[in-house]
Amino acid sequence: MASRLLFSLLLLLPLFAGAGAATCNPSDREALLAIRDALKEPFLGVFSSWTGKDCCKWYAVGCDPTTGRVADLSLRGESEDPILTRSGIMTGRISPSVCRLTALSTLILADWKQISGPIPSCIPSSLPSLRILDLIGNRLSGPLPSNIGLLRHLTVLNVADNQISGKIPRSLPFLSSLMHLDLSNNLISGSIPRNFGNLHMLSRALLARNSLRGSIPISIGSMPRLADLDLSRNHISGQIPATLGSSRVLSSLILDSNRISGNIPASILKSQGLGILNLSRNSIAGEIPDVFTARSYFTALDLSFNRLRGHVPRTLSSATYVGHLDLSHNHLCGPIPTGPPFDHLDATSFAKNDCLCGSPLQSCV
Ligand SMILES: *[C@@H]1O[C@H](CO)[C@@H](O)[C@H](O)[C@H]1NC(C)=O
C-alpha cells in the first residue's frame, strides 16, 4: 500500500516541478521564432529576450497559464508608457507562421511604421480565438482577408494608417462581436456593405481617408451601439439616412469631404446626444432644419462648404451649448439671430454666404 503511494507520488513529481514554470508549447515557440526572423528591429532590441526554451517569458509574449499556449503577442512601437519615450521602427513582414499560434487571442504589431507586406490571409481560418487584431501604423498592403468574418470573437479590428487596398470584405458584417473598427487612412475602395448594420456590437466605425464610394447603407441607422461614425474624406455619395437621427447613442457623426447630396434630415439635428456633426465640403442642399431644442449640445457643428439656402435657424439659440459653429460658404440669407450662441461667434462662422447680415457681420439695413 505504502509503496504504491510512493510510486504514484514519484510519477506526479515531475508534473508538480513543471507547474510553476509552464514552459511554452514547442510548436508555438517555433512559430514565434519564424515571426521574429521575418521582422527586423534594430534600435530597441525588443527581440533580445527571445531565446531559450520558455517562450512564455519572452518580451511581449503572454501564455495561457493552464495550457501554456501563446495567447498574446503585443508589440507596440510607440509606447504608452511615458518613461519609455523612444519610438521604434521595424521592417520586414508578418510571417504566415503567426497562423500556427492557434490559441492566440491578442495580436498587436502597432506603430512600427515600416512593417510591410500583406496581412496573412490564413488568420481568419487559423486563429478562432482572436479578440484583438491591431496592426495600426505600419506599411501593410494588399486586401483585408476576404473571410475575416470568421473571427466571431473579434472585438477590435484596427488596421488604420497602412496601405491596405481592395474592398471591405463582404464577410466583415458577420463579425458579431466587433466593437471597434478602424480602417482609417488606407487605400480601401468600393462601397460599404449594405448589411454593415449587422455589426450590432459596433460602437466605433472609423473609415475616414479611403476611397470609398456609393451611399451610406440605410442599415447603419439601426445600429444599437454606434457612437462614432467617421466616413470623412472618401467619395461617398447619396443622402444621409434619416434613420441615423433616431439613434440614442450616436455622439459623433463625421461625414466631411465627400459627395453627399440631399437635405440634412431634421432627425439628425434633433438627435439627443449628438455632440459633433461635421458635414463640411459636400453638396448638401435645402434649408437647415430649424429644430434645435434645449437638449441640443454641440461641441462642433460644421455645415460649411455646401449648398444650403434659407435662414440661419432661430432655434439654435435654444441649444444648451454650441461651441464651434461653421455655416460659411453656403447660400444662406437674412438676419443672424441674436442671443447665445450667436453673441460669442465671430464673422468666420458666417463668411461667404449670399446675403447674411447682423452681428457679427455688417448690420442689416
Ligand atoms: C470639418 O471638416 C472640414 C473638412 O475636412 C475640416 O476642415 C474642419 O476642421 C472640420 N470641422 C471640425 C469642427 O472639426
* Atom in ligand 1 nearest the alpha carbon of residue 232: 5
In this prediction, residues 293-303 reach a mean pLDDT of: 96
8-state DSSP, 31 = H
* pLDDT for position 340: 87
Please check whether the domain covering 188-365 is classified as CATH 3.80.10.10. Answer: yes
* pLDDT one-digit tens code per residue, 167-223: 999 999 999 999 999 999 999 999 999 999 999 999 999 999 999 999 999 999 999
Q: Of all helices (H) and strands (E), which one includes residue 96?
A: none
Pocket test for ligand 1, best of 233, 256, 345 (most atoms within 8 A of CB): 256
Looking at every residue in the chain, the average pLDDT score rounds to 92
Where in the sequence of the chain do the CATH 3.80.10.10 domains occur?
22-164, 188-365
Q: What angle do CA 288, 276, 266 make, to 5 degrees?
A: 30
User: How confident is the model at residue 18, as a pLDDT?
Assistant: 39
> Phi-psi bin for 157: left (phi > 0), alpha (psi -120 to 50), beta?
beta
Looking at domain 22-164, which of 1.10.760.10, 3.90.950.10, 3.80.10.10, 3.30.420.10 is its CATH number?
A: 3.80.10.10
**For residue 17, how far is its CA from the centre of ligand 1 (angstroms)?**
62
At 268, the amino acid letter reads: I
Q: Find out whether 160 and 184 touch, Cβ atoms under 8 Å.
A: yes
Q: Who lines ligand 1 at CB under 6 A?
A: 256-257, 278, 280-281, 300, 302, 324
HSE, side-chain direction, 13 A CA sphere, residue 261 = 3
